[in-house]
Structure 1
């Protein structure tokens, strides 16, 4: 697994945790964390697919 994909996945997990904590506390700031989790998830998928395409082709 590429290092950038691992970093993006770690950011995604941390952002989801921050979103849950924000919503539990009643803060609407969790929406920003949800958006960040979505972005980092897409980045992780991108780097994984990029690596797979490079090794297969």
Structure 2
């Protein structure tokens, strides 16, 4: 797993945890954490897909 994807996955887990805690406490700031989790998820998938494409190109050559 690429390093950037790993970091994004860690941010994703932390953001989801923060969102759950915020909603349990009745704080609507959890919406921001949910949005951050979505962005982190997209970043992680981007770097994972990029790594797969680069590996496939390297195997073809």
Instruction: State if a TM-score over 0.5 links the two structures.
Output: yes
Structure 1: tracts of 5 or more residues without a match: none
Q: How far off its partner does 1:35 sit?
A: 0.1
Aligned residue for 1:52?
52
**Paired residue total:** 57
Residue correspondence of structure 1 range 21-40 to structure 2 within 5 A: 21-40=21-40
The TM-score, its normalising length taken from structure 2, stands at: 0.92
Structure 1 stretches of at least 4 aligned residues deviating more than 6 Å after TM superposition: none
Aligned residue for 2:5?
5
Max radius of gyration: which structure? 2
The TM-score, its normalising length taken from structure 1, stands at: 0.99
